[in-house]
Structures are given as C-alpha cells and as structure tokens.
Structure 1
Amino acid sequence: MKKRRKFIFVCQGSDCKSNKAKRFAEDIGAILHSGPHRGKFKLVKTKCMDCCKSGPVAVVADQLIKKGDLKHLEQALATE
C-alpha cells in the first residue's frame, strides 16, 4: 500500500496576507520540494484559521506555527 503524504495547512486569510502569508507559503513550498521532505508532505492553503494576531500561521500535525517561524516549522517537520 502506498504511503500517504501528511498535510501542512497555511492560512491565507486577510490578516495573514497583510503579514506576508504568501511569502511564508512560498518558503514552505521550497522546503517541501527539497531534501528529505520531498514527496512526504502536501501544502494546503486555507481561509482564515482564527489566529489573526499570530499570523502568518501554519499547522503541522498538531502544532501551530506562529508568526511565520520557519525554524519552528522545520523542527516540526523533522519530528514527523
């Protein structure tokens, strides 16, 4: 049976967009298409996640990545 990819949800709501969510999603995409993460994750752009004051945000497994913190995101991906 084929292994399923895990999802990473990235908020694209208006408050996150004003905090450079598009750039954050592009950076996540670059991380996912290189190195050991290639083919293991799928990036899903969502509408508002109600974490507006912490934007841009992403969700990996059960972890909320706040303020576009790519280092925290990479640590979360390493544990998956």
Structure 2
Amino acid sequence: MSPYRKFIFICNGSDCKKAGCKKLQSEIKDLVKSHEYQGKYKLIKTKCMDFCKSAPSVIIQNELIKKADLDSIKKKMG
C-alpha cells in the first residue's frame, strides 16, 4: 500500500492568474517532484476559492496561505 499523500490546492481563478499562480504552480510542481517531497504531496488545481483580494491562494493541510509564495509553502510543508 502506498503512503498517505497530502494535498496542495492552488486556486486558478482569474485574480490568482493575474497574481502569478501559473508560475507558482510550476514552482510547486517542481518542488513536489524533488527528492525530498517525492510521493508525499499531490498538487491539485482548483477553480476560484473566493479569496480574490489575497491572491494567489493555496491550501495545505487545511490551512489557507494568502498571497502565497514558494517560501511560505515550504514552511507549511515542513
């Protein structure tokens, strides 16, 4: 049986796209594929999560990260 994977939800709404979610999504995808996190996380793209004023929005382990960047995501991943 494979180990339990945690989910990373990234908003792909129009405001998040304007705020750079596509670049962030690519960075997260590379991070998740890295040796340290391989098989532990799964990236899931979502539609608008209604946190438009604080875009880009990411949810990791039931915690919302507003104005997300790669450093804040790494902190939550542990």
Q: TM-score, structure 1 length as denominator?
A: 0.89
The runs of 5 or more residues in structure 1 that have no matched partner are none
Q: Distance in 2 between matches of 1:33 and 1:3?
A: 15
- Aligned AA (1:51): F
- Aligned AA (1:17): K
In structure 1, the partner of 2:33 is 33
Measured on the aligned residues, the alpha-carbon RMSD in Å equals 1.1
Identity %: 45
Which stretch shifts more, 60-69 or 48-57? 60-69
The number of aligned residues is: 78
**Runs of 4+ displaced beyond 3 Å:** none
Deviations 1:31-60 (A, max 9, x none): 111131111110000000111011111100
Q: TM-score, structure 2 length as denominator?
A: 0.91
In structure 1, the partner of 2:73 is 73
The structure with the largest helix share of the pair is 1
Q: Distance in 1 between matches of 2:44 and 2:31?
A: 14
Deviations 1:3-31 (A, max 9, x none): 22111000000110111111110011111
Q: CA deviation at 1:65?
A: 1.5
- Aligned AA (1:53): K
Q: Distance in 2 between matches of 1:54 and 1:30?
A: 24
- Aligned AA (2:77): L
Map 1:1-80 to 2 at 5 A: 1-78=1-78
What is the SS of the residue equivalent to 2:48?
A: coil
